[in-house]
């Protein structure tokens, strides 16, 4: 039986149409089950919700930051467990620095300045270099000195 070219052209112009009467329902992935399991696990650990946390940042080694603009935080201090819930955005660290600087204290700003100088000088920053600056404020111990007496 030959194919009628006119009918074929008409069908192609008409676009897609339903063939057959069977419907196939797509399976929906239920993420609520994961949320319920997470909440049950946190309840077993006796996690408590931490209030007044507006945002959270997680810094990666590749200078990217996971930024949670709205975050829920739960903590179980006995098991050293923290849960951060929300929708993170992956951002470059340079985009977040203006928002982070006001939260740093003067000591941290000084440490950040020294770190930037080390990076510009081509030296690899070390924890010992950062700690050396912090130890300048600690007086040396002198034998025979009594700490209870006030000068």
Query: Domain locations in the chain?
Result: 32-93, 104-135
Q: How confident is the model at residue 46 (pLDDT cuts 50, 70, 90)?
A: very high
pLDDT in tens, 55-104: 888 888 787 888 898 999 999 988 899 998 888 999 887 788 787 777 77
Tell me the average pLDDT of the chain: 76
48: left (phi over 0), alpha (psi -120 to 50) or beta: beta
Environment class of 65 (CB within 10 Å of its CB; exposed 0-12, middle 13-18, buried 19+): buried
Enter the pTM of the model. Answer: 0.48
- Cβ neighbors of 70 (< 8 A, separation 6 or more) are 54, 55, 86, 87
Kindly list the distances between the CA atom of residue 88 and the CA atoms of 50, 65, 68, in Å, as whole numbers in the listed order: 18, 9, 5
Task: Give CATH for domain 32-93.
Answer: 2.20.70.30
Query: What pLDDT does 73 receive?
Result: 92
Provide the token pair at 42. 């946190």
Summarised one tens digit per residue, pLDDT across range 115-137 is 788 878 876 555 444 445 555 56
């Amino acid at each position: 039986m030959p194919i009628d070219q006119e009918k074929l052209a008409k069908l192609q112009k008409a676009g897609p149409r339903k063939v057959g009467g069977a419907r196939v329902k797509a399976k929906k992935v239920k993420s609520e089950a994961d949320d319920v399991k997470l909440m049950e696990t946190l309840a077993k650990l006796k996690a408590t919700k931490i209030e007044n946390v507006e945002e959270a940042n997680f810094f990666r080694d590749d200078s990217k930051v996971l930024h949670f603009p709205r975050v829920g935080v739960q903590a179980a201090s006995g098991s050293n467990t923290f849960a951060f819930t929300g929708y993170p955005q992956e951002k470059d660290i340079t985009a977040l620095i203006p928002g982070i600087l006001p939260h740093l204290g003067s000591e941290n700003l000084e440490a950040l300045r020294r770190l930037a100088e080390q990076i510009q000088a081509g030296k690899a920053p070390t924890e010992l270099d950062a700690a050396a600056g912090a130890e300048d404020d600690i007086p040396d111990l002198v034998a025979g000195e009594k700490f209870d007496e006030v000068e």
